[in-house]
Amino acid sequence: MPLISVNPATEAVEAEYQYQTDDTLDGLLTQAAESGRDWRAAGVEERAVHLTAVAAMLRERKSQLAELMAAEMGKPRNQGEAEAEKCAWACEHFAGHGAGFLEPDRLAAGARKTYVDYQPLGVILAIMPWNFPLWQVFRFGVGALMAGNTAIVKHAPNVTGCALAVEALFLAAGLPPGVVRCARATNAQTAGMIADPRVRAVTFTGSCATGRIIAAQAGEALKKCVLELGGSDPYVVLEDADISRAARICADSRCVNSGQSCIAAKRFIAVESVYAAFEEAFLAEMAGKQLGFPAENPDLGPLARKDLRETLDRQVRESAAKGARVLMGGQIPERPGWWYPPTALTDVTPGQPAFHEELFGPVATLFRARDENEAAALANATSFGLGAAVFTQDVERGEAFARGKLDAGSCFVNASVQSDPRMPFGGIKDSGYGRELGLLGAREFTNAKTVYVAE
């Protein structure tokens, strides 16, 4: 069965690709392992030069890359170009700071010299999703490559064209063949690569269900594993918040990437005294979001696949049947393509899919809380823990709330949750473990080797 890329705006088949044979995949692993020896020996300065070249290539090709993302997963063109720019920024950040991130840590341990040296693990198998076909690769890749690792990247089947473009980009930038290769592998072949001794670690971004499978396979093989799974990020609006600003940021975050982002805002919790004002302002912001073809640079494009829209529609309908109230949207448009309108629900309670499950599309859930303590309890009443935010005009209060009351890997005050090359990124609970980006991301796929030199 071939890999098929279908345009989500038109349902037209864009391209078909074939899975690679076992022998071909074996060759990729051999090449990655062999290239790794030279890549490691090149040193951080030379690797920084290569990452800088990749950044230039990303900017040179950003229009073509955005067009490809639009065709394969429906991303608006301007958002696709911004994604390429963000990847370039990450390359440049790690090219400029990677050497410092990887400097040995000197220790005082009663010896002539003691330090921790950060050395690459080897080949990293990266199993990547479709929603950010470029950024997901670079989010883990800039740190892993700067540290001296090589990578085999297995993309989601519906963005195979993007996967091939990523591989071609690294080669065009002058990286040695084998440092980054993309694999078109079945689930069974992927499991085989996880077990292969040439692969030294695994990273996966995607659903919790698949994450558990990947983690079990990596554990069986005694391989380090990093997981970035789902999210149901809560945004808390306290009584002293700037309501118009909070509503704008919340709506923008709910609709980023057509709502198909693990760290998109999904649950909105406002305290009683400002709930009505926030609901009115938020619904007005959501109503202003335009649905359109990717080339038109709309606020929202189509959802990436038919099954994703079916799941989202089921979650909304089942929640409504169990008592949730649909404030806006909730109806599939009668047109070709996998469109779904901006939607908002309230009266969401335990037992409804909208309360417990991640809503991967432009569907918001609104909650009313008596006070900030109940707001914090509602925010944390989820199995996920990727990101969270709080809005208040008392910045010190917001910082204390974010630091002390929100359970998530990233907590923001008066801003939407976002990944940034300068900051570690990752989750807790069912949102996974491990960190990408920043200092921790640079060291995530390294052997923290203790070296002790006696007198």
* Amino acid identity for residue 185 in this structure: A
Once rounded to an integer, what is the mean pLDDT over residues 167-188?
97
Q: What percent of the chain has pLDDT over 90?
A: 99
- Choice among 91, 225, 255, 262 that is catalytic: 262
Assess contact for 50 and 174: CB atoms under 8 A.
Answer: yes
- Which of the four pLDDT bands, split at 50, 70 and 90, describes residue 47? very high
Determine the 3-state secondary structure of 277 from DSSP: helix
Once rounded to an integer, what is the mean pLDDT over residues 77-81?
98
Q: What percent of the chain has pLDDT over 70?
A: 100
Structure tokens at 42: 């090149």
- Residue 429 burial (CB < 10 Å; 0-12/13-18/19+)? middle
d(CA 299, CA 71): 16
Structure tokens at 301: 């494009």
Structural domains of the chain in order of their starting residue, each with its CATH number: 3-230+429-453 (3.40.605.10), 233-381+387-413 (3.40.309.10)
Whether residue 209 has pLDDT greater than 90: yes
Q: Average per-residue pLDDT in the chain?
A: 98
Structure tokens at 328: 């806006």
Whether residue 8 has pLDDT greater than 80: yes
- Which of the four pLDDT bands, split at 50, 70 and 90, describes residue 18? very high
Per-residue burial over 34-71, b = 16 or more CB atoms within 10 Å of its CB, e = otherwise = bbbeebbebebeebbebbbbbbebbeebbeebbbbbbb
pLDDT digits (tens, 9 = 90+) for 312-330: 999 999 999 999 999 999 9
Once rounded to an integer, what is the mean pLDDT over residues 210-236?
98
Look up 250 and say whether it is catalytic.
no
Look up 262 and say whether it is catalytic.
yes
Query: What is the reported pLDDT for 279?
Result: 98
- Choice among 228, 279, 357, 436 that is catalytic: 228
Once rounded to an integer, what is the mean pLDDT over residues 391-396?
98
d(CA 304, CA 347): 28
What does DSSP say about strands 363-369 and 343-346: parallel, antiparallel, or unpaired?
Answer: parallel
Q: Give 234's strand partners.
A: 267
Once rounded to an integer, what is the mean pLDDT over residues 255-268?
97
